Amino acid sequence: MKKILFIAFLSPTLCFAQKAHTYFQLSGDMYNYSGADPIFGGSMEIGAKRSIIGLGAGVSITQFKGATSPYVPVYFDISAYTNKREIRPILQIKGGFGIFDNNAVSTIKQSGGLYLNPSAGLLFPLKKSDIILAVGYLSSEIRSKIVMGTYATTSSTNITGWSLHLGVKL
């Protein structure tokens, strides 16, 4: 299953990359969910940039306060740039599925769901890399199943908030 997901996520990027500049991106992220304390995370992405469009696949990791396991979204990234070499605007949309296996309380089982993070910011080109600073809006779905004896109920919570993204594209 892991191999199938890996191929499904990377095959569009590899096809796009045949005549494009490939990149590797490491990022630090800060999220502010619904007025709670800021949460920090990190992400890693591989992709290709062709003219003014970028296409990539990545994985991020975030630890929620009080959770027993991290929230790990696996996503596609579509980026749009301007073609100039100086400081330029960038638009990014990251969409995918969050993996979450939190069992903090024995009667509540939590799992991941849909993940979406559109953002806008600036790209600062350097000699051999680029720095990205972007602000976005994050939406993460968490599915909960409450089990009490033979009775079980499920619910879905959409966690939303602002995100600040600082990354290095190599």
3-state secondary structure 118-158: EEEEEEEECCCCEEEEEEEEEEEEEEEEEEECCEEEEEEEE
Give this prediction's pTM.
0.78
Average pLDDT of the segment spanning 87-103: 87
Q: Is the dihedral of CA 10, 115, 61, 111 positive or negative?
A: negative
Domain count for the chain, please give it: 1
The residue that leads in pLDDT, 133 or 146, is 133
Which pLDDT does position 25 carry in this prediction?
Answer: 85
User: What value does the mean pLDDT of the chain take?
Assistant: 79
Confidence of residue 17 (pLDDT cuts 50, 70, 90): very low
Please state, in angstroms and rounded to a whole number, the distance separating the CA atoms of residues 138 and 51.
27
Q: Which amino acid is at 2?
A: K
Q: How far apart are CA 99 and CA 112, in angstroms?
A: 5
The answer on pLDDT for 16 being more than 70 is no
Q: What is the CATH number of the domain that holds 94?
A: 2.40.160.20
pLDDT in the model for residue 12: 52
Domain of residue 32 covers 2-169
For the ranges 45-49, 86-90, 115-119, 145-149, the lowest mean pLDDT is seen at: 145-149
pLDDT of residue 103: 67
Could you tell me whether strands 108-125 and 130-148 are parallel, antiparallel, or unpaired per DSSP bridges? antiparallel
